[in-house]
Structure 1
């Protein structure tokens, strides 16, 4: 009976130590946004997106300027032309407005798609590097410090930067 009691106490102690060890999982943190914004590939992608956005803005401005010039001309000539011509011009302006709206929507969609195409591989590369460094250093959890109120554990940012080559 005494042996059973001793065995039971030993089992409880071993189980308690085992649970305590598991409860103390190693964790670290990293500021993913700060890491991404300093990546040379991210900076290049941002420049590409800026250039494309500027091109769309310029094209949009040309279309709007054309619309405004036609509107001004048609308003000045409205009294001197026939009703039929005024109706045709009104329809022409409506069609131009529609093209401008469609262009703006298409440009926004294309810019968003391009951003996704450029950023997704970078995000995957960062995630893989974080996982590799985290596993190599024995961490079970790596948190994004952008959302943490307290980040008292080790910061993996320098190690992940090294892994990514910058």
Structure 2
């Protein structure tokens, strides 16, 4: 019996120690998307990416026009071709279409990669400011109001005082 009481006292004491440790954690929250939207550097990145997209779109449009002409040319002569010739041309057309899709995907990846490269120093700047604000306020943890793609997450803050977004914006500028 005394063994059970001893275990219960140890568990009870451990529970209060854990609860006390969590009660001392200072938490803040922020909205990185809002922070980034206030920075002129992000607008410059968006302009560069838009120019890259326009350039890529023009190149893809030219390739699409050429591909469409090749398909049209095939359709106009396909009834005059033998079964073997038709089969060979259709395989060639499928390969050209697949190459077009690969080029399109490659361009999209290049755009995403370039945006990441351009945003990296801006994100780092934001993270440094966030760390400085956390140190100034003695915060142990900073939560994000949303996901990296901007989707809302289940989030509740009892006090707006925990929102450090404006302090981070001030620190960055």
Bigger radius of gyration, 1 or 2?
1
Query: TM (normalized to structure 1)?
Result: 0.72
Whether the 8 Å contact between 1:52 and 1:111 is mirrored in structure 2 is: yes
Deviations 1:93-132 (A, max 9, x none): 2342132022012112212211221222222211110110
Q: Does 1:68 align with 2:76?
A: no
- Structure 1 pair 49–151 and aligned structure 2 pair: CA distance change class (3 A): farther
The CA deviation at 1:81 is 6.4
Tell me the equivalent position of 1:113: 113
Deviations 1:142-164 (A, max 9, x none): 22233422251332222211211
**Residue pairs, 1:35-46, within 5 angstroms:** 35-46=35-46
Tell me the equivalent position of 2:149: none
Higher mean alpha-carbon deviation, 102-111 vs 80-89, is at 80-89
Count of residue correspondences: 148
Which consecutive residues of structure 2, in runs of 5 or more, have no partner in the other structure? 1-15, 147-152
**Residue pairs, 1:82-161, within 5 angstroms:** 89-146=89-146, 147=153, 148-152=155-159, 153-161=161-169
- CA RMSD, Structure 1 to Structure 2 (Å): 2.9
Which consecutive residues of structure 1, in runs of 5 or more, have no partner in the other structure? 1-15
Whether the 8 Å contact between 1:145 and 1:151 is mirrored in structure 2 is: no
Higher mean alpha-carbon deviation, 29-38 vs 77-86, is at 77-86
Query: TM (normalized to structure 2)?
Result: 0.69
